[in-house]
Amino acid sequence: MTNQAIVRLEDASKYYRQGKMDIRAVDGLSLEIHKGDFTALCGPSGSGKTTVLNLIGGLDFPTGGRVYLEGQDIGLLSRSRISAIRRDRIGFVFQAYNLIPVMTAYENAAFVLSLQGVSDRECRDRVMAILTEVGLEGLEHRRPDEMSGGQQQRVAIARAIVTQPAIVLADEPTANVDSANADSLLRLMERLNNESGITFLFSTHDQRVMDRAHRIIKLHDGKMESDEVFS
């Protein structure tokens, strides 16, 4: 872990209106995520984990406070600029894999590179290298419905890291896979963190994720309950 903050939340809040009630999904949260972190956000359902990831990823906007990504206040950026930041600086791994069904493993992994306008040749080199790294060599022509859950999640990880983002936001990445696959995926992400210095921020209930995390931030009712760093 270095001291360079990639993400900074300053008194960030997110309220939703549900009927006549205000739901405080995130309530005055301040935290920093540093380059090279392997951090888990945990807490019970409704504690605000996914909302925090959405705020950091520019998928949602804070009702109060500020969210900075690499020093830029996300709340002040245009829609197209946020799209560009998501494309170039953030990798997403979703609980339900969320691969695009009409694309092969290769095409899914290459999707963001094609949005970036990377040349076909460079794209091929980078995607094949990543697919090999995540253990999917030889499966690049398969479509999502021809792969297991674990394999799909590996494609999702490949898609998230192929652009060398500043941070990978992983929302319950092990929730939909069996324990063998979950262990394997975690080892993969841990290795990517150790060897390539990729920053990971997880939202999770999974004890296996928490066991591997270098830092655990516990949330409760949108507030930080604890923030523990492990050496």
Partner 1 sequence: MKIRKMAWRNLWRRKRRTYITALSIGFGVLLSVTFIGMADDSYTKMIDTSAVMGLGHVTVEPGGYNETPSLDKSLSDAAGMREAILKMEDVNDALIRIMGQAMIASANKSIGGAFMAIDPDRETGDLNLFIRSIVEGELFSGTAGQGVVIGSRVAKKLNLSIGKKLVYTTTDVKGEIVSEIARVTGVFETGVSEVDGSMILLPIDRVRAVLSYKPEEASLISVVIKDQRRSGRMREKIRSRIDNPDIEVLSWRETQADLASIITLDKAGNRVILILIGLLIAAGILNTLLMSVMERTREFGIMMALGMSPSTLFMLVIMESIWFAVLGLVLGTIITVPWYAFMYHHGIDFTGMIGSDYSASGVIIDPVMKIRLFRESALWILTGLFTLTVLSGIYPAWRAGRVPPVESLKEI
Contacts with partner 1, residue ranges (CB under 8 A): 54, 57, 59-60, 79-80, 83-88, 90, 92, 94, 98, 100-103, 107, 110-112, 114-116, 159
Nearer to partner 1, 14 or 215 (CB): 14
Closest distance of CB 155 from partner 1, Å: 13
CB 151 within 8 Å of CB 176: no
Residues 96, 173: Cα–Cα separation, whole Å: 8
Nearer to partner 1, 84 or 210 (CB): 84
Say if residue 59 is exposed, middle or buried (CB neighbours under 10 Å; 0-12, 13-18, 19+): middle
Let me know how long the chain is: 231
Closest distance of CB 181 from partner 1, Å: 21
List Cβ neighbours of 20 (8 Å cut-off, separation of 6 or more).
Answer: none
Residues 164, 198: Cα–Cα separation, whole Å: 8
Nearer to partner 1, 147 or 216 (CB): 147
CB 26 within 8 Å of CB 222: yes
Closest distance of CB 108 from partner 1, Å: 9
Nearer to partner 1, 30 or 83 (CB): 83
CB 220 within 8 Å of CB 27: no
DSSP class of residue 144? Answer: G
Nearer to partner 1, 91 or 150 (CB): 91
Nearer to partner 1, 80 or 207 (CB): 80
Nearer to partner 1, 213 or 222 (CB): 222
Closest distance of CB 122 from partner 1, Å: 15
Residues 6, 72: Cα–Cα separation, whole Å: 10
Residues 41, 94: Cα–Cα separation, whole Å: 14
Closest distance of CB 134 from partner 1, Å: 17
> Which residue is it, tokens 């799909």?
152
Closest distance of CB 202 from partner 1, Å: 16
Closest distance of CB 142 from partner 1, Å: 15
Helices (H), the chain: 49-56, 79-89, 105-116, 120-133, 149-161, 179-196, 207-212
**Helix (H, G, I), strand (E, B), or coil: what is residue 56?**
helix
